[in-house]
């Protein structure tokens, strides 16, 4: 139980219109200050001040990533409990709340459009681009090893890109489905699968941030170098969870935290890597458990990127 003064402080922090709107927005996923200023139509200093008050009271959490910072709801403590209680009582039909939701959707649509534009430009050279950043052969071998030699009925590759994971894991599934929102990437993926003679996999155009449940359920879901393109990887992970069979597994590959800002400005990255604690929190919120983690340090001292592989399992 919180002491009286602490509880009063938390209540004061939550008891203001803009800050309540912020809590409701963050319940829909993590956001940067820039996102929130666009949604609320308020100045950056004012939004930052409100966020600081909420963070100091334990209602939200701040995660710094290079020059940016992302905010999300607190996951533990009295502040987290109070935030959840308040959010459950917010009326989404309220006029101001509806405007916030519409602007939030517009911000996310704009971000996705910029990412699609980038992918269209680099589709043909995508696999070469990846080799500049990570020890790809070692990671691919680890992805195969993560399945422990199993042959599953259905494997779904979210954000399949050029279809490389469907190719690498082609001996591990009876039916493979790759989903991506880039038509250019899918054209490359179809060509790759056809050239490799892989007839038991197909690729589909789809929004991996709002998955079509008809694609599942899957025994295994692969999310390879995708989550860093989302402002809120936890939200995307929760979406992916809906496609997973009871007792199923996810294999996630992404960068560890880094400070290479050019990946954000030049390559459409939204998050500068994912930490172990972030992944554990997102997994738990989605009803998943981190079973194993492997790290692959960069072989290039100039770029200094480390790749992580997480194996998640269904907790039910």
**pLDDT tens profile 29-76:** 778 888 899 999 999 999 999 999 999 888 888 876 566 777 888 877
CATH 1.10.10.10 domain span(s) along the chain = 4-90
Q: Which of 70-74, 122-126, 227-231, 276-280 has the lowest mean pLDDT?
A: 122-126
For 237, the 3-state DSSP assignment is helix
Grade residue 1 by pLDDT with cuts at 50, 70 and 90: very low
For 175, the 3-state DSSP assignment is strand
Arch. (CATH architecture) of 4-90: Orthogonal Bundle (1.10)
Hey, what are 210's tokens? 């709002």
Hey, what are 113's tokens? 């459009």
For 220, the 3-state DSSP assignment is strand
The verdict on pTM exceeding 0.85 is no
Distance, CA of 53 to CA of 271 (rounded, Å)? 24
| Structural fold of domain 123-314 | Rossmann fold (3.40.50)
Hey, what are 39's tokens? 């949604």
CATH 3.40.50.150 domain span(s) along the chain = 123-314
């Amino acid at each position: 139980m919180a002491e009286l003064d602490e509880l009063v402080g938390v209540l004061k922090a939550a008891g203001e219109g803009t800050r309540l709107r912020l809590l409701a927005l963050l319940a829909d996923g993590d956001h940067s200050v820039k996102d929130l200023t666009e949604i609320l139509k308020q100045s950056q200093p004012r939004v930052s001040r409100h966020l600081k008050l909420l963070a100091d009271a334990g209602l939200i959490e701040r995660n710094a990533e290079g020059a940016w910072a992302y905010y999300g709801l607190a996951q533990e403590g009295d502040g987290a409990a109070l935030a959840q209680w308040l959010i459950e009582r917010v009326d989404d039909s309220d006029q101001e709340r509806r405007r916030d939701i519409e602007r939030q959707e517009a911000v996310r649509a704009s971000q996705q459009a910029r990412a699609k534009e980038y992918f269209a430009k680099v589709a043909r050279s995508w696999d070469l681009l990846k080799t500049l950043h990570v020890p790809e052969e070692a990671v691919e071998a680890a992805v195969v090893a993560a399945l422990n030699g199993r042959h599953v009925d259905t494997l779904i590759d979210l954000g399949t890109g050029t279809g490389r994971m469907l190719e690498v894991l082609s001996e591990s599934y009876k039916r493979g489905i790759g989903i991506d929102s880039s038509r250019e990437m899918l054209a490359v993926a179809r060509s790759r699968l056809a050239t490799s003679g892989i007839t038991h996999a197909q690729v589909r155009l789809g929004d991996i941030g709002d998955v079509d449940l008809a694609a599942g359920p899957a025994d295994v879901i692969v999310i390879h170098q995708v989550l860093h393109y989302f402002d809120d990887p936890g939200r995307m992970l929760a979406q992916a969870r809906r496609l997973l069979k009871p007792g199923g597994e996810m294999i996630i590959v992404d960068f560890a935290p880094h400070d290479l800002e050019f990946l954000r400005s030049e390559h459409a990255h939204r998050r500068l890597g994912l930490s172990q604690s972030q992944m554990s929190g997102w997994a738990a919120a989605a009803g998943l458990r981190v079973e194993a983690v492997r790290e692959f340090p960069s072989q290039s001292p100039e770029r200094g990127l480390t790749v992580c592989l997480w194996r998640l399992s269904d907790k039910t």
